[in-house]
Structure 1
Amino acid sequence: MPRMISFILTRLATGFAIGCAVGFVVWENGLLSSTNTAGTHYLAQGLFIYFFASTMSMGYLATALLLEEE
């Protein structure tokens, strides 16, 4: 695999993993702390975590590309 493609895929996957973890923590602890939503809203939770993670992955990739030196 060419070096640039490997670089992009690695940074996107790393950013997505970080975003999933942070999105899950934000959903569970901060977003709906005042209401009882145990066992409900799985679709909303999944979409929130996915959108949070995809945004974080693009930001992680952009930052890595900006700071990359050869």
Structure 2
Amino acid sequence: MPRMIRFILTRLATGFAIGCAVGFVVWHNGILSSTSTAGNLENYLAQVLFIYLFASTMSMGYLATALLLEEE
């Protein structure tokens, strides 16, 4: 695999993993405690979309920062 593609994929995957962790923590500490229906399908769908929002944003930001700071 070419070096640039590997660089992009690893940075996107790392940023996505960090974003998933942050989104999960934010959801469970901030949003889940204020809702009374924690077990219905709409809540699970909202949680998945919320975590995906954090993960996709963090992955692009992580990649952009890595490209900015890469020196070679």
The structure where helix makes up a greater share of residues is 2
Q: Structure 1: state its 5+ residue gaps.
A: none
Structure 1 residue ranges, 4+ long, deviating more than 6 angstroms after superposition? none
Question: What is the TM-score normalised by the length of structure 1?
Answer: 0.92
For residue 52 of structure 1, report the CA deviation from its aligned partner: 1.0
Question: What is the TM-score normalised by the length of structure 2?
Answer: 0.90
Q: Structure 2 CA distance, aligned partners of 1:34 and 1:14? A: 30
For residue 28 of structure 1, report the CA deviation from its aligned partner: 0.7
Aligned length: 70
Once structures 1 and 2 are overlaid, which stretch shifts more, 23-32 or 5-14? 23-32
Q: Structure 2: state its 5+ residue gaps.
A: none
